[in-house]
């Protein structure tokens, strides 16, 4: 196949501008008889490196830390004598190696890069190339807008940024609650309402290869002071100790007040301050051998540029009881317990007697008379329900007593019966003589039964 010929001029003498494309060439001469042509000649045109390019092998995406081969190509006359590789770091050029072929370990910072080719006439450089390195998310950071202090309940914009290949597909936000992570939202940009518990927080990012997370960040939320529930007071015989704890941003100041007047460290009051955290403060007052017993007006006041808070303190005595105080207290306690027991027993006895009177059958009167008139005045083993009767019951039932009651104590019993009414006529007295004896006998039986119970 005949090579392509390009016409470049006519005449026995031809002036041309030498360049890398000047040759090869030949001339052709013609007369009336025919034509002839010269041999192919070449002009030795010298020029600096041109058409400098870079090839990457393998050419597709490569895993991080794998080996990649870079090749630099260029045309030049005289030939290229030096190949140099650089990484393009913004407006700077960072040297990474030399040689027409360079083997490097692929990483997120492998590119962009280029090569330079040099000969005796000058230098040429390639276009910037990039290795497609795959890696999980790195350099994850959080930005807060506005970045300075913000008022409580204002809106704050959080932005999560990360480098990754392939690109990040999910952004998740968490609040760092001690050792726990509390979910608060998703998305690369998150708008939240600033509060004293807004932070610390961080974001997590994920791509197809893995996940990365940012450092913990904090929103500078400003809020008025608050006095914490952990504040307390204790008082002993020798010392009074009060601790007042507060939080606020800007950091608050603490002041003690007694009877409405501020007081500071002195020979009587030992006052010290110590920080709790970035926004917290504790103030402690110690009083040795206090000369007062009632300090209900002792106040702690916390204040900053946004407001103030006040707490009144109450004292919990830790004084041990003396021996005399203990004995008096114990004696009073025993007396109260005994009195209550006696009262309960009395109420039970009254209740029992009332139940017995209400439940007593009519035939019990005759039985009681027979029992009290037995031979030898022997008292049979009977129950209290059988002998609980009085003269009024006898009168109401109109039960006639026996004609004679045996026993040596009969006359005395009749004359001394407690239930006989004074001033009654003799006929009634005689009629109820036996009944009175029954009543006396009942009292004797009740006393005997009580003695037996006490003996048991």
Same domain membership, residue 421 and residue 391: yes
Choosing from 334, 359, 384, the residue where a domain stops is: 359
94, part of any domain:
no
User: What is the pTM assigned to this prediction?
Assistant: 0.49
Q: What is the residue-level pLDDT of the chain in tens, covering all 456 positions?
A: 456 677 777 877 777 766 655 567 778 888 888 888 877 777 778 889 999 999 999 988 999 989 999 999 999 989 999 999 999 887 788 898 999 999 998 886 667 899 999 999 999 999 998 888 999 999 999 999 998 889 888 999 999 999 999 999 999 999 988 778 899 999 999 999 888 666 789 999 999 999 999 999 988 888 899 988 888 888 777 777 888 999 888 888 888 887 778 877 776 678 888 887 777 888 888 877 655 554 557 788 999 999 999 988 765 444 444 455 556 677 888 999 999 999 988 888 888 888 776 665 544 444 344 334 444 444 344 334 443 334 333 334 443 443 333 333 443 433 344 344 344 344 434 434 444 344 344 444 455 555 555 555
Q: Answer whether residue 51 is part of any domain.
A: no
- 81 close to 156: Cβ distance less than 8 angstroms: no
- Determine the Cα–Cα distance for residues 269 and 30; give it in Å rounded to an integer: 126
Q: Can you name the residues that pair with 263 across neighbouring β-strands?
A: 256
214/229 same-domain check: no
156 and 234 together in one domain = no
Q: Are residues 353 and 367 in the same domain?
A: no
- Same domain? 379 vs 451: yes
The residue among 174, 194, 219 that closes a domain is 219
Residues 444 and 370 in one domain: yes
Residue 327 shares a structural domain with residue 312: no
* pLDDT for 185: 93
Residue 101 in any domain: the answer is no
Domain extent, residue 419, equals: 360-455
Inside any domain, residue 391: yes
CB 83 within 8 A of CB 99: yes
Same domain, 215 and 246: no
Whether residues 232 and 242 fall in one domain: yes
Q: Three-state secondary structure along the chain?
A: CCCCCCCCCCCCCCCCCCCCCCCCECCEEECCCCEEECCCECCCCCEEEEEEEEEEECCCCEECCCEEEEEEEEEEECCCCEEEEEEEECCEEEEEEECCEEEEECCCCCCCEEEEEEECCEEEECCCECCCEEEEEEEEEEEEECCCCEECCCEEEEEEEEEEECCCCEEEEEEEECCEEEEEEECCEEEEECCCCCCCEEEEEEECCEEEECCCECCCEEEEEEECCCCEEEECCCEEEEEEEEEEECCCEEEEEECCEEECCCCCCEEEEEECCCCEEEEEEEEECCCCCCCCCEEEEEEECCEEEEEECCCEECCCCCHHHHHHHHHHHHHHHHHHHHHHHHHHHHHHHHHHHHHCCCCHHHHHHHHHCCHHHCCCCCCHHHHCCCHHHHHHHCCCCCCCCCCCCHHHHHHHCCCCCCCCCHHHHHHCHHHHHHHHHHHHHHHHHHHHHHHC
Structure token digits, residue 175:
């609040």
Are residue 364 and residue 449 in the same domain, yes or no?
Answer: yes
Whether residue 411 lies inside any domain: the answer is yes
Contact 141, 162 (CB under 8 A): yes
**Residue 55: both structure tokens together:** 């090839």
Judgement on whether residues 350 and 384 belong to the same structural domain of the protein: no
Q: Are residues 344 and 397 in the same domain?
A: no
Residue 186, domain CATH: 2.60.40.10
Q: Is residue 15 included in any domain, yes or no? A: no
* Location of structure tokens 């019993």: 413
Domain end, chosen from 219, 240, 266, is at: 219
445 is a domain residue: yes
Residue 149 lies in a domain: yes
Structural domain total, the chain: 4
pLDDT given for residue 109 in this prediction: 64
């Amino acid at each position: 196949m005949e090579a392509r010929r390009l016409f470049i001029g006519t005449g026995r003498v031809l002036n041309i501008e030498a360049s890398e494309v000047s040759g090869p060439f030949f001339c052709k001469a013609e007369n009336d008889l025919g034509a002839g042509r010269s041999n192919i000649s070449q002009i030795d045109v010298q020029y600096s490196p041109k058409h400098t390019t870079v090839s990457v092998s393998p050419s597709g995406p490569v895993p991080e830390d794998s080996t990649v081969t870079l090749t630099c190509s260029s045309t030049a006359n005289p030939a290229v004598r030096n190949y140099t590789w650089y990484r393009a770091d913004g407006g700077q050029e960072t040297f990474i190696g030399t040689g027409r072929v360079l083997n490097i370990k692929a990483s997120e910072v492998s590119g962009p890069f280029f090569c330079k080719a040099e000969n005796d006439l000058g230098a040429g450089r390639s276009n910037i190339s990039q290795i497609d390195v795959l890696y999980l998310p790195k350099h994850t950071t959080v930005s807060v807008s506005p970045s300075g202090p913000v008022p409580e309940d204002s809106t704050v914009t959080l932005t999560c940024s990360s480098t990754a290949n392939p690109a990040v597909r999910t952004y998740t936000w968490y609040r760092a609650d001690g050792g726990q992570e509390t979910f608060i939202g998703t998305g690369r940009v998150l708008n939240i309402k600033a509060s004293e518990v807004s932070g610390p927080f961080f974001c997590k990012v994920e791509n197809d290869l893995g996940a990365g997370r940012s450092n913990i960040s904090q929103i500078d939320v400003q809020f008025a002071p608050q006095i914490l529930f952990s504040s307390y007071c204790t008082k002993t015989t020798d010392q009074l100790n009060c601790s007042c704890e507060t939080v606020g941003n800007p950091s608050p100041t603490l002041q003690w007040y007694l009877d409405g007047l501020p007081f500071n460290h002195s020979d009587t009051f030992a006052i010290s301050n110590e920080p709790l955290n970035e926004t917290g403060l504790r103030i402690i007052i110690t009083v040795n051998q206090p000369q007062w017993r009632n300090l209900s007006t002792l106040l702690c006041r916390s204040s900053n540029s946004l407001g103030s808070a006040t707490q009144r303190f109450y004292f919990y005595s830790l004084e041990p009881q003396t021996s005399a105080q203990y004995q008096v207290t114990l004696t009073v306690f025993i007396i109260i317990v005994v009195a209550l027991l006696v009262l309960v027993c009395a109420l039970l006895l009254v209740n029992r007697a009332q139940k017995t009177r209400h439940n007593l059958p009519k035939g019990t009167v005759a039985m009681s008379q027979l029992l009290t008139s037995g031979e030898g005045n022997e008292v049979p083993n009977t129950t209290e329900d059988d002998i609980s009767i009085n003269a009024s019951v006898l009168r109401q039932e109109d039960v006639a007593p026996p004609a004679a009651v045996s026993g040596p104590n009969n006359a005395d019993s009749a004359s001394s019966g407690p239930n006989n009414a004074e001033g009654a006529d003799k006929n009634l007295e005689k009629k109820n003589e036996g009944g009175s004896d029954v009543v006396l006998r009942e009292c004797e039986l009740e006393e005997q039964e009580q003695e037996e119970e006490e003996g048991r």
